[in-house]
């Protein structure tokens, strides 16, 4: 692996970090170390890196802000790829924004609101990247990325860059084409919005942010809602009704403020969090015969 890292540096693919604690790059603040983290300069360098990984049989993981990812406590023997430099943003026309996958979703929502554009007010408190939001089809307040995305520039497993339309991206509740097609990487997104009243939009975003603070345990590290809401019900209510609020394993706890949050109350391990997720899911299955689907992505648990 050391020789591989030196090769990446020689190719000047981008900034390289070694022996990186993934606690610093995930919103749960847990996870083991990664042998290497690379920030490719552009698409050409990203392709070069991916070819190196595949040719040398080195595993890799593209990571956004780590706001919906649970790495194990084990070392990640491979490369974490961060698209932070894919952070361009520009207006195509007065209602359409082109934005890089590494751009902050919160910053994008703020950018849109300042332009008096409606359609992204719900995203003002979601701490992910645009690429991560596309992957998860992030959403809130009965809206999601599927309502505003027009097209996405995608890197395929064959290293070709294609453009996919909204219809091709298969957006559904907390799911997208990318989840079922590993190896496809979101590079850039075109967002279509509508004209709105700037002051009104600012007030809506402020109100929703205040509601998040009031109802969610944002003072602790977490990854947002753990489970998707089953049809016709709310995961948080089901968990609360089972009396699981406050349940603790090590440094992890089912939040007493919002039962669909698992929080790091102090030096939690990834295993602490995973054990709580499994326990809650099993309890709901046993009592309601409902299989809750986890919103978080589990990495390096094999």
Instruction: Please list the active-site residues.
Output: 174, 225, 295
Taking residue 172's Cβ as centre, other Cβ atoms within 10 Å add up to 11
In this structure, are residues 37 and 76 in contact, taking their beta carbons and an 8 Å threshold? no
N-to-C CA span, the chain: 20
> 3-state DSSP: the chain helix, strand, coil percent, rounded to 5?
35, 30, 40
Question: 163: how many CB neighbours lie within 10 A of its CB?
Answer: 12
Give the tokens for residue 41: 């300069």
31, 61 Cβ separation under 8 angstroms: no
Q: Annotate 48-62 with b (16+ C-beta within 10 A) or e (fewer).
A: bbbebbeeeebebbb
Tokens of 187: 């590079």
Please report where in the chains the tokens 């595993």 appear, as a residue: 59
Q: Per the structure block, which two tokens stand in for 248?
A: 């603790």
How far lies 245's CA from each of 29, 135, 194, 263, in Å?
21, 29, 40, 11
Element (H, E) at 163: strand 161-165
Q: Residue-wise over 91-107: b if at least 16 C-beta within 10 A, else e?
A: eeeebebbbbbbbbbbb
Question: Which DSSP helix (H) or strand (E) runs through 144?
Answer: strand 143-144
Q: Report which of 191, 77, 49 is spatially closest to residue 123, judged by C-alpha positions.
A: 191
Q: Token match 């932070």: residue?
A: 84
């Amino acid at each position: 692996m050391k020789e591989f890292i030196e090769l990446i540096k020689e190719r000047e693919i981008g900034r390289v970090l070694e022996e990186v604690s993934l606690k610093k790059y995930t919103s749960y603040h847990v996870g083991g170390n990664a042998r290497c983290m690379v920030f490719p300069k552009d698409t050409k360098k990203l392709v070069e890196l991916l070819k190196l990984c595949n040719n040398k049989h080195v595993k890799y993981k593209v990571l956004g802000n780590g706001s919906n990812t649970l790495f194990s406590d084990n070392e990640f023997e491979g490369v974490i790829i961060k698209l932070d430099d894919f952070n361009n943003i520009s207006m195509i026309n007065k209602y359409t924004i082109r934005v890089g996958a590494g751009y902050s979703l919160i910053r994008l929502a703020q950018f849109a609101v300042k332009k008096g554009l409606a359609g992204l007010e719900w995203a003002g408190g979601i701490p992910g990247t645009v690429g991560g939001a596309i992957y998860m089809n992030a959403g809130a307040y009965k809206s999601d990325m599927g309502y505003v995305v027009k097209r996405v520039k995608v890197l395929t497993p064959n290293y070709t860059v294609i453009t996919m339309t909204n219809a091709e991206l298969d957006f559904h509740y907390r799911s997208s084409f990318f989840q079922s097609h590993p190896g496809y990487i979101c590079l850039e997104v075109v967002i279509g919005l509508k004209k709105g009243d700037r002051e009104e939009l600012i007030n809506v975003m402020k109100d929703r942010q205040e509601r998040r603070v009031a109802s969610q345990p944002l003072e602790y590290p977490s990854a947002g809602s753990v489970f998707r809401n089953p049809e016709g019900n709310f995961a948080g209510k089901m968990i609360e009704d089972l009396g699981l609020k406050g349940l603790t394993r090590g440094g992890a706890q089912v939040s007493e403020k919002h039962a669909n949050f698992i929080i790091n109350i102090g030096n939690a391990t990834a295993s602490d969090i995973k054990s709580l997720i499994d326990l809650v899911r099993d309890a709901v299955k046993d009592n309601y015969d409902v299989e809750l689907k986890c919103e978080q992505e589990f990495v390096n648990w094999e």
